[in-house]
Amino acid sequence: MVMADANNISTNGNGNGNGNHYAVHVRSVTKTFGTGDATIHALREVQFDAREGELLMIVGPSGCGKTTLLSVIAGTLGFDSGEVDVFGSPLHSLSKGDITDFRAKNIGFIFQQFHLIPTLTNAENVSVPLLINGMKRAIAEKRAHELLEVVGLKGRGNHLPSQLSGGQQQRVAIARAMVHDPKLIICDEPTSALDKENGAKIMELLSSIARAPGRCVIVVTHDPRIYHFADRMTEMEDGRVARVHAAPENL
Amino acid sequence: MYHIALKMLFADRAKYIMLISGLTFAALLMTQQAGVFFGILGWTNGNLKNIRSQIWVVDPKVEQVNEIKAMRDTDVNRVRSVPGVAWAVPTFWNPQQARLADGSFKPIVLVGLDNSSLVGRPVHMIAGRIEDMRLPNTVIIDDLGVQRLSQGRKKPIGIGDTFEINDKEARIVGICQTEKMFWGYPYVFTTYDQALRFAPKQRKMLSFILAEPAEGQSAAAVAKRIHEETGLGAHTEEEFGAMTVKWFFKNTGIPVSFATTIILGFIVGFAIAGQTFYSFILENLRHIGALKAMGASNGLLTRMVILQAITVGIIGYGIGIGLTVVVGLAFLQKGMPPFSLPYEVPLYTFFAILFICAFAAVLGLRKIFNLEPAIVFRG
Ligand SMILES: Nc1ncnc2c1ncn2[C@@H]1O[C@H](COP(=O)(O)OP(=O)(O)OP(=O)(O)O)[C@@H](O)[C@H]1O
Ligand SMILES: [Mg+2]
């Protein structure tokens, strides 16, 4: 079933996204790169929502602006105009320092290339978000070991990332993304470096996280093998949200 | 996060060792060369430390303490008659050849002290009595002399032994301790009259006059008056020392060549450490970007980088200074080359190393500040 367009949802909500209905509320966001003839319109008046408790996928052809939108939502990239609300934080009106702080507390990141620090043990890698938030090292590492157990890597905390398979490394990254209990977890192509089986394991973990109350997981992907894990799917085209699919089977 | 910063630093073995080596090299070269330089400076003033006198009166053309232009004997009385001079005594000071037991020759500095007062006498006696140098044909040699003049003997030369100065026998009645002087010759002390007998006859044999101000008068004022009334050069101990150092700066390439080496050490250390630290930051930029995305503030990252820079700085400095001390002790043991480490040298070296580290850190931090956390989503 196709829900006409993204604006459809906002009429149900309270309009500025800080109610408990919306996790992410993006209104008329524009982002360009470069100037003059070389200007690239990466996002054109984007309207976008993600709800609490859902795993939302963003799909679309290469260069359509998926990563750019994800970066805007995560607060790692500034935008030219529009409004972005994430769990009640209005990113468009926060200072740079406040946005950094916002990311530290509220966002979990999962990257295509894992981005684990190779010289740190898995547990140390997982503890990083807690340390950034000022937690004591010993407590942070204890918590990291617990989280590694949750993602099925019991006993691997003192190993280095290089001693793990790709799928296992991505599970370390998931542990790192959730260790500080963020409300929003952002994933860019989390399974594209993995085979089907490992990709499915990763997605199972992510959907279980998304189900938790007051949480949301947004996944950008090209990988049709994992489409069925989505609660909803936002399709982008040329810097705009083209369609929102309630059920991925209809794609 | 600080243990994470250190772990990232130590884990990159190659760069870590490179950083430490660069800084160690800089610290070692700077302090060691400065140490030798100050050692040489100390030698230049060796005479002033071994022959103590508040006022030195010399020929007006003399520019530094290692230079002799003989004066007339009558000059002593001219100095004595200057108001404010408590006393003034003649002194002989001249390099001579000593003939040893095996027939070989060694250069020495023969010092003749005023017969009655023995002003300018050795500061530390190791053996024997100073007064014994008034006995006929006797001398007191220094510790360096024991080493140098023992050549051709089964036992080290000592009290009661003899050697020859210009075919005249000199009998040792005491051993004293001296500081090295610039030429590196051992001192042989005797009385003024005996010194004139040991040395070849010349028209003028008075090397310098040692004088003391009357009670209540400053040495500087009296020296000035001596100069004004006699036309001779008259300097306080400190003035003469400063003149000597100045002379060495002006007339020898020694300070320039040491300064060049020290600056070179700084530049090489600077280049190695700066470059290595910068590439360390560059190589970790991906990870730093991820930390930034995860909410690490510029402030936190700055503190982490500064910790890394200071850590390599202190380790490099520590090893460098440690090696300098080892090398310096070895030099002092051997007596060559001269070595002296006033506390300013390690202190300023520390600042130099800190400067290198600060510069390296700033280079890296500029990169980090300009880093957009969004890059972590790019392949
Ligand atoms: N930092 C940047 N500087 C210049 N142009 C950029 C930058 N980031 C993105 N773009 C451009 O913005 C557009 C959208 O890029 P984006 O990375 O969001 O696409 P995407 O949908 O994630 O593509 P892909 O599926 O290939 O990852 C592209 O044309 C891209 O070239
Ligand atoms: Mg992308």
- pLDDT, tens digit (0-9, with 9 covering 90-100), for B293-313: 999 999 999 999 999 999 999
Q: Please report whether residue B299 resides in a domain.
A: yes
CB atoms within 10 A of CB A234: 24
Q: Please report whether residue B57 resides in a domain.
A: no
Q: Are B216 and B258 found together in one domain?
A: no
Compute the distance between CA of residue A36 and CA of residue A33 in angstroms, rounded to an integer: 10
Percent of chain B with pLDDT over 90: 46
- pLDDT category of residue B291 using cuts at 50, 70 and 90: very high
Which residues in chain B are closer than 8 Å to A104, comparing Cβ atoms? 294-296
Q: Are B223 and B298 found together in one domain?
A: no
Average pLDDT of B259-274?
90
pLDDT for A13 equals 36
Look at ligand 1, atom 4, and give the residue with the nearest C-alpha. Answer: A33
pLDDT for B286 equals 86
- Whether A132 sits inside 8 A of B11 (CB atoms) is no
Neighbouring residues of the ion ligand 2, judged by CB less than 5 Å: A 67
Q: Tens digits of per-residue pLDDT, B199-241?
A: 888 888 899 999 999 988 899 999 999 999 999 999 999 999 9
Average pLDDT of B94-122?
90
Interface mutation vs chain B, best among A69, A111, A180, A219, most B CBs within 10 Å:
A111
Q: Are B339 and B221 found together in one domain?
A: no
Please choose, from the candidates A87, A180, A22, the residue with its C-alpha nearest in 3D space to the C-alpha of residue B294: A180
Q: Are B223 and B82 found together in one domain?
A: yes
Look at ligand 1, atom 25, and give the residue with the nearest C-alpha. Answer: A62
Average pLDDT of B268-272?
89
- Whether B290 sits inside 8 A of A100 (CB atoms) is no
Q: Are B223 and B78 found together in one domain?
A: yes
For residue A148, the number of C-alpha atoms closer than 13 Å in the C-beta half-sphere is 25
Q: Please report whether residue B54 resides in a domain.
A: no
The DSSP H or E segment spanning A46 is strand A40-51
B25 and B319 Cβ atoms separated by less than 8 Å? no
CB atoms within 10 A of CB A228: 12
Please choose, from the candidates A68, A77, A33, the residue with its C-alpha nearest in 3D space to the C-alpha of residue A48: A68
Q: Please report whether residue B248 resides in a domain.
A: no
Please choose, from the candidates B190, B202, B225, the residue with its C-alpha nearest in 3D space to the C-alpha of residue B82: B225
- Region class of A115: left (phi > 0), else alpha (psi between -120 and 50), else beta: left
Q: Are B103 and B225 found together in one domain?
A: yes
**Alpha-carbon distances, residue B13 vs A125, B19, B173, B371 (angstroms):** 20, 10, 63, 25
Q: Tens digits of per-residue pLDDT, B309-359?
A: 999 999 999 999 999 999 888 888 887 787 888 888 889 999 999 999 999
Query: In this complex, is the C-beta atom of B310 within 8 Å of any C-beta atom belonging to chain A?
Result: no
Query: Any idea how long chain B is?
Result: 379
Q: Which atom of ligand 1 is the closest one to the Cα of A34?
A: 4
Q: Return the amino acid letter for A128.
A: V
Compute the distance between CA of residue A71 and CA of residue A40 in angstroms, rounded to an integer: 16
- Give the per-residue SS3 of chain B: CHHHHHHHHHHCHHHHHHHHHHHHHHHHHHHHHHHHHHHHHHHHCHHHHHCCCCEEEECCCCCCCCCCCCECCHHHHHHHCCCCEEEEEEEEEEEEEEECCCCCEEEEEEEEECCCCCCCCCCEEEEECHHHHHCCCEEEEEHHHHHHHCCCCCCCCCCCCEEEECCEEEEEEEEEECCCCCCCCCEEEEEHHHHHHHCCCCCCCECEEEEEECCCCCHHHHHHHHHHHHCCEEEEHHHHHHHHHHHHHHHCCHHHHHHHHHHHHHHHHHHHHHHHHHHHHHHCHHHHHHHHHCCCCHHHHHHHHHHHHHHHHHHHHHHHHHHHHHHHHHHHHHCCCCCCCCCHHHHHHHHHHHHHHHHHHHHHHHHHHCCCHHHHHCC
Where in the sequence is the domain holding B171, given as residue range(s)?
Answer: 72-231
Average pLDDT of B15-39?
90
User: What are the residue ranges of helices labelled H in chain A?
Assistant: 7-10, 66-74, 96-106, 122-132, 137-150, 166-178, 196-211
A68 and A31 Cβ atoms separated by less than 8 Å? yes
Number of domains in chain B: 2
CA B242 – ligand 2 centroid, Å? 73
Q: Please report whether residue B49 resides in a domain.
A: no
Q: Please report whether residue B52 resides in a domain.
A: no
Please choose, from the candidates B169, B291, B349, the residue with its C-alpha nearest in 3D space to the C-alpha of residue A132: B291
Tell me the pLDDT of chain A (251 aa) as tens digits. Answer: 344 444 433 333 333 333 346 899 999 999 999 888 889 999 999 999 999 889 999 999 999 999 999 999 999 998 999 999 999 899 999 998 999 999 999 999 998 888 899 999 999 999 999 999 999 999 999 999 998 988 888 889 899 999 998 888 988 998 999 999 999 999 988 888 778 888 888 888 889 888 888 899 999 998 888 888 889 999 999 999 988 888 655 44
| Dihedral angle, C-alpha A125, A116, A186, B375, nearest 10 ° | 130
- CA–chain centroid gap for B61, Å, is 26
Q: Please report whether residue B291 resides in a domain.
A: yes
Q: Are B209 and B257 found together in one domain?
A: no
CA distance to partner chain A, nearest, from residue B12 (Å): 8
To the nearest whole number, what is the mean pLDDT of chain B?
Answer: 89
Query: In this complex, is the C-beta atom of B291 within 8 Å of any C-beta atom belonging to chain A?
Result: yes
Q: Are B269 and B315 found together in one domain?
A: yes
Query: In this complex, is the C-beta atom of B300 within 8 Å of any C-beta atom belonging to chain A?
Result: yes
pLDDT for B13 equals 87
Q: Tens digits of per-residue pLDDT, B4-25?
A: 999 989 988 888 998 899 999 9
Which residues in chain A are closer than 8 Å to B7, comparing Cβ atoms? 119-120, 124
Q: Please report whether residue B63 resides in a domain.
A: no
Query: In this complex, is the C-beta atom of B1 within 8 Å of any C-beta atom belonging to chain A?
Result: yes
Percent of chain B with pLDDT over 70: 100
A43 and A79 Cβ atoms separated by less than 8 Å? yes
pLDDT for B376 equals 78
Please report the ipTM that was assigned to this predicted complex. Answer: 0.85
CA distance to partner chain A, nearest, from residue B299 (Å): 10
DSSP A250: G
Q: Which atom of ligand 1 is the closest one to the Cα of A65?
A: 18
CA distance to partner chain B, nearest, from residue A22 (Å): 23
Compute the distance between CA of residue A5 and CA of residue A19 in angstroms, rounded to an integer: 21
pLDDT for B44 equals 86
Which residues in chain A are closer than 8 Å to B8, comparing Cβ atoms? 117, 119-120
A60 and A222 Cβ atoms separated by less than 8 Å? no
pLDDT for A247 equals 64
Q: Are B129 and B271 found together in one domain?
A: no
CA distance to partner chain B, nearest, from residue A221 (Å): 13
Residue B33 has pLDDT above 60, yes or no: yes
The token duo for A177 is 């993304």
Q: Return the amino acid letter for B237.
A: E
List, in order of start, the domains of chain A with CATH numbers: 2-14+54-61+98-250 (3.40.50.300)
Q: Return the amino acid letter for B126.
A: I
Q: Tens digits of per-residue pLDDT, A148-160?
A: 988 888 889 899 9
Q: Are B24 and B127 found together in one domain?
A: no
Q: Are B106 and B170 found together in one domain?
A: yes
Q: Are B227 and B86 found together in one domain?
A: yes
Binding-site residues, ligand 1, Cβ < 6 A: A 33-34, 40, 42, 62-68
